Amino acid sequence: LTKLTAAELSLVYHGVRHGYSYISQSCTVDLLKKIFNESEIGQNISCGKTKARELSVNVLAPFFTSKLIQQIAQSSFYSLSFDGSNKGTIKMFPFIINYFTIQCGIVRSALEIVEQPRETAQNIVDTLRDLLKKHNLDIQKLTSIGADNTNTNYGRNNSVFTILQLEVVNLLKGNCFCHVLSNSAKVSHQHLPVDVETYLSQLYSHFSSSSKRIAELKEYFEFVEIEYLCLLQHIKIRWLSLYNSIDRLLKVYEPLASYFCDINNDNADAITCPPAIKIFFSSNMSKCTLYFLHQILFDIQTKNLELQRYSNLHQLLI
């Protein structure tokens, strides 16, 4: 291994480690040649986007994967976590493996990211089996699977869990507690007197594509001497957006309520106000519901963030 090769591999590893694109790698190499113009390595280093990708995919990835498999082979058991994710029109399944070593304790590593356009339980199981076979991992050493709480993954009939349990009898469920918290808040929200999620979407849509409406709203902020803050979009499939959207709405509630209540729908030339929004700001129940959700969701959001970053989940749940 020459010093030049080591330099190129180190540069590519650094870029992958920090999420830099291969195009930026090429630009960095050009810069290094100018900075270290008296260095033999600096002048001879060659690592454009094509070469950087080849080194990453065909040299570094196989090397680190082989080291990972060696560590797993020395461990008695392991668990797998997975979740489908879209990258453009491509459906990707990252498989994360968890195992124990005496030196490091519990280790979590990305085993592989697999392209799988079909999301049926049987297709996911087949992909998982092929992956384990590829890396010579014994499926009987699999202790649990971690995934979100959909019927495909954990349903009673023909799910990923039930299919694997036929082969691995003592398999455990690794349910996503973040999903449990999110779903509990979502289901409970249906029993509230005001559908806050719907109103948040309507409010955001009212201003999202109209500079004229925003300009008129800013006049109300100036009148009450409050700094203008834009509304935050709530996306129903994003766990952490509801609390942030409600928190922002409460901060701008007074000027926003004045803006909508002053709109005259009888004037054909003026901006019209959706009747549902005018009812929302005219009702005291709406503001009470917002404050109630703000208080409850703060605790749920805090615990959700802890679950996502906490390593000792068992201790946290206790």
Residue type, 30: D
Interval 84-134: pLDDT, tens = 888 778 888 899 999 988 888 888 888 888 888 888 899 999 999 999 999
Q: What is the mean pLDDT of residues 148-154?
A: 87
Q: Is the pLDDT of residue 310 over 90?
A: no
Average pLDDT over residues 140-156: 89
- Give the C-alpha separation, 173 to 107, whole Å: 19
Alpha-helix runs per DSSP H in 36-74: 40-44, 49-55, 61-74
Phi, psi of 90 (to 5 degrees): -105, 130
User: What whole-number distance in Å separates Cα of residue 303 and Cα of residue 281?
Assistant: 31
Residues 137-142 have a mean pLDDT of 92
pLDDT in the model for residue 95: 92
Q: What local confidence, expressed as pLDDT, does residue 164 receive?
A: 93
- Report residue 315's pLDDT band, with 50, 70 and 90 as the boundaries: very low
> Which pLDDT score is estimated for 162?
93
Topology of the domain comprising 75-175: Nucleotidyltransferase; domain 5 (3.30.420)
Strands 172-175 and 142-147: parallel
Q: For 306-318, b where at least 16 C-beta lie within 10 A, e where not — what string?
A: ebeeeeeeeeeee
Residue-wise pLDDT for 176-221, tens only, equals: 788 888 888 888 888 899 999 999 999 999 898 888 889 989 999 9
**Rounded (to 5) percent helix, strand, coil in the chain:** 60, 15, 30
- Beta partners for 95? 82, 112
The domain segmentation of the chain, as residue ranges, is: 3-62, 75-175, 185-309
pLDDT of residue 266: 55
* SS3 category, 31: helix
Do the beta carbons of residue 257 and residue 227 sit within 8 Å?
no
Q: What is the C-alpha end-to-end distance of the chain, expressed in Å?
A: 51
Q: How far is CA 152 from CA 130, 178, 187, 245, 273, in A?
A: 19, 18, 20, 30, 42
- Tens of pLDDT, residues 234-244: 987 777 889 99
Mean pLDDT of the chain: 86
